[in-house]
Chains A and B, each alone.
Chain A
Amino acid sequence: MGKPIKVRRGLNIPLKGKAEKQIIDLSPGKLYALKPTDFHGIRPKVVAKPGTEVKVGTSIYYDKFHPEVQFCSPVSGVVKELVRGEKRKLLEIIIETDGKQIQETHEIHDYQTADSVDLIKTLLQTGFWQMITQRPYGVIPNPESTPDFVFVSTFDTAPLAPDYGFVLENMQEELKVGLDILHKISGKEIHLGLNAKADNTLFENLPHTITNTFEGPHPTGNVGTQINAIRPINKGEIYWTINIQNLAMIGRLFLKKSIDFSRAVSFVGSELNQTGYIKVLPGQSVKEIIDGKLVQDNVRVISGNPLTGKAIEKEGYLSFQENQITILPEGDYYEFFGWLIPGLKKFSLSRTYFSWLMPGRKYRLDTNYHGGERAYVVTGEYEKVCPLDIYPQQLIKACMTEDIDKMEQLGIYEVIEEDMALCEFVCTSKTEVQSILRESLDMLRKEMS
């Protein structure tokens, strides 16, 4: 392990409601939903119509473009209904569980003897393949492709993020198996990003890895930041990334030969009366999780972290692979002369509110925009929070004007939304950076295929 790589630019947003290191017991839920909207660039084709009995690992829908990629039920029970949105877009497939967790009989190959074809087959059939993310574009990798590089970050620096050292405490064996498999199916050594400020005993001496340590504020823990520091993505190259808990879950699948989608997520936010870690299944009903745990009712429930997560209705369902549930106050109020007041409780990268005089303070931030959307006026703020070797504001402008050549030149292949989420947070002009970037990535992917 060499000297840590210092990331200088970035921003830690000091939010209230960090996770206590405790497991909060949760009674298992009744309703679950699969949400095709969790993935970019797929077209879902449902195979389990309402009324169908399903088991854990039974295919519910697949991707029309890649029929081998199956999306499977996390529970056993009955498919209850399909929820569609505008233009009949499929939003949710709701499953009511019988609580028995009977497993579908897929052949789970022995990871020590099986070759990469068989391993990939198991991953595809059980619905674990989509735990891997491909860059560029941030999509599910094509099962026929192999990556040029594989990167995994072992830590998360996002606001109120889970501590993977705690989450994966007893899963070192699973991690080892997961790495074995990832190594086999990718044919590459895995670049592992470690946190210089954390206890890394769990992540040391893992097989097939090249480790790098990083030090710095968010987004240092983002795999995109680590890739950019070690070996930036060039046009035409394919990188795989996978969340560290996902990796351990893949390891568990092969080690225990059991299809188990459960994961520990941090349950955080200023509006909870108790924070900690909970064990959930993907698509679990939020209502059953948060009932009786809120300080007040006017809240935003986020599957994921406050910068990149998805807002879910209180009647909604968790996303497929987020490791965090964040509960924040909604900001749907008017503020009298809000732009003029001293603002001791307001957080800003700038020092225009007097709260900067109180370092170390934790904030209860809400979902208010704190201002109207404007044309770009202020410059240089994106650069302060974006450690990647790109010109973020120029890149977003290229995206706005749909100038593909410029986007490529400015390094759009090196980023997905999470890498520029902080730019969106600090933007004085309240530009929707992440959705602008996503539209361009989708457009580019279409053009290139």
Chain B
Amino acid sequence: MLLEGWGRYPQLNSEVLTPATPDQLNELVRGRAGLIARGNGRAYGDAAIGARSSLSAVKLDRMRGFDPQTHVLTAEAGVLLSDILDTFVPRGFFVPVVPGTKYVTLGGMIASDVHGKNHHRDGGFGAFLQSLKLVLPNGEVWNCSPHENPDVFYATIGGMGLTGVIAEASIKLKPIETAYIRQATTVAPDLASALKALDDADEATYSVAWIDCLAGGALLGRSLIYAGEHASRAEVEEARVNGELLAKAKASRLSVPLDLPSWTLNKASVKAFNEVYFRKGSRKGDAPAVVHYNPYFFPLDGVSQWNRIYGVRGFLQHQCVVPPNNAHAVLSEILERFARSGRASFLAVLKKLGKANGLMSFPMPGYTLALDVQVRDDIFALLDEIDELVTRAGGRLYLAKDARQSPATFQAGYPGLAEFQEIRRRLGVEGKIASKLSERLGI
């Protein structure tokens, strides 16, 4: 059947296999060629579309055990982050790294080594991974951890599912006093101040900047910087929040029922941005707000199927990271080129990253910039130019978002590739475990 990622581009043919039990998973993987595991389909491009078959993990959604002493949760790879949060926030635990959507699977978070707003301080999802079980096409099941098959373990973190099928994994959860985040918002009038504000927020657990891409000239890169900490019991009580201290997320009710013209999200989001920007800018020293973790971490999850807002042709998310040295010049150039093209989203996300966890992990010390562009015939050449800037700066693109970078850009950005390929050869997964992404990039 035709499969697509969250960006709805590209749409490619791949047979979908849906094992209902771990035993069925093993049977379906054995001896198969051109297979990739697929979680909840939230990778934007072609990462979770199998070269021939896609093994859906949605039914492998059982938890295996939780140790209240060590806080280690073991679960099957198809368990959703939203499910883990709904189950464990009321018990006083949080997931130590969460990406921008909670509708991702445990296996997908490992394969993409997802980063969160705390990457500058805590590292990616892989930093909290205790162990994983990898199913190989030759019928073997490998236990991997920092102590057992460590090279395979670190190749699987951020390995885009290309070392084998992750069947289950153990992750160390983080104790929390409340389900709330104490959020402080600061305004940055231009890109230099935004980068400095992120540097100043190094000690904050969470930090992220939203850039207003409509602002140009001297205002290029003007941003709102959101820093956050898990709120203590006393802080939540002081803020007089209604409801339980460890309240789980409310179900979202909004949905995008049809494909919209592309400007809707952009106009609305920039208007909201400007409102906050000018309000905050005119009132220095605002008291931090106490907000529930759900809108803080997953604002877009509040509108289900928001990806339809970009219309039928879909959209691309361009997410790069560039090292700190030259970041200001490179990011300015990228923002300017997008602005000049008039093709990019009106908001972009800027975030400081720390060191990588896995051999093929996306993060590296530096700054990552992410923005959405609607798919149009004339967009691809522009993105190639921007890739060139990223490559020259020593940066790279996030594979979980990618649908179109060239093999050359990819190879330049991922120096661990040769070792990764060597590990794949040793595991006997070459040609057996393959996605449309790995075929496109020559992995």
Asked whether A and B interact, the reply is: no
B interface, CB within 8 angstroms of A: none
